[in-house]
Amino acid sequence: MRGVMTYATFRQVLEHTRSATEPPEAILATGDLVQDETRAGYERFRDELSDAGVPVYCLAGNHDSPAVMHDVLGGSPFQVGGQARCGNWNLLLLNSFSAGDDGGRISTQDLEQLAADLDALRNEHVMLAVHHHPVPMGSRWLDGVGLRNGNQLMEIATGAGNVRAVVWGHVHQASDRRRDGVRLISTPSTCSQFRPNSDAFALDSRPPGYRWIDLYADGTIETEVVWVGS
């Protein structure tokens, strides 16, 4: 895709994580797992990660087929959407897929459920994961296909008091900032990257990448982006 052999770079990233001194305790795949929505693509993803030995938490992106994803990745170690426990943290996987739209939207029902879940977890640390970016990235073209109701999500996240971070994919670039005490984190792609702060679509020269996220018992987060092949 765009001159990149995406399966090869995906495997290269996986090999890099496997060579780490401390292997991951879980894998979070933030969407756009398959570009062409084919069953074979999800089967390939499944085959590469089925023996990872850790949970693989998956989100549907705008290029995915949620129905096929649920069908192929419906068994352990995979989980599509829902809630998960990571140590003494809670990971809430939000669905922002919107059929026929490269942008995303979280349904009113899901937002109401999120508020209820956060209230039930009010004494625990929570990280939210979503495919589409809920806050502007500073790129006119990219912000046109973000989370359509991102302001609603952020109002819930910042008002809950127990959301420590919101993480997302979609933007093919790394960023890390804060809003009202909530860490806002995007992660690079395992294939090509988008040039930051570009009004029109443009690719960056950055290589494939991924992000480590360390969640600590006191609610703090440490995170690092790794560029593979740089």
Under a CB-based contact definition with an 8 Å cutoff, are residues 106 and 96 in contact?
Answer: yes
CA–CA gap between residue 210 and residue 64 (Å, rounded): 19
| 100/185 Cα distance (integer angstroms) | 26
pTM: 0.95
Check residue 35 and give its pLDDT. 87
Range list of β-strands (E), the chain: 27-29, 56-58, 78-80, 82-86, 89-93, 125-130, 163-168, 175-179, 182-186, 209-215, 221-227
Two tokens at 72? 């192929």
What pLDDT is stored for residue 4 in this prediction?
75
Task: Break the chain into its structural domains and give their ranges.
Answer: 6-227
pLDDT of 230 reads 58
* Residue segments in the chain with a per-residue pLDDT below the cut of 70: 1-2, 230
pLDDT tens digits along 69-94: 999 999 999 999 999 998 889 999 99
Tell me the DSSP string of 39-62. Answer: HHHHHHHHHHHTTSSS-EEE---T
pLDDT the model gives residue 3: 74
User: What per-residue confidence (pLDDT) applies to 66?
Assistant: 96
Q: Please give the class, per CATH, of domain 6-227.
A: alpha beta
Strand-pairing partners, residue 166, are: 128, 184
111 near 118, Cβ under 8 Å? Answer: no
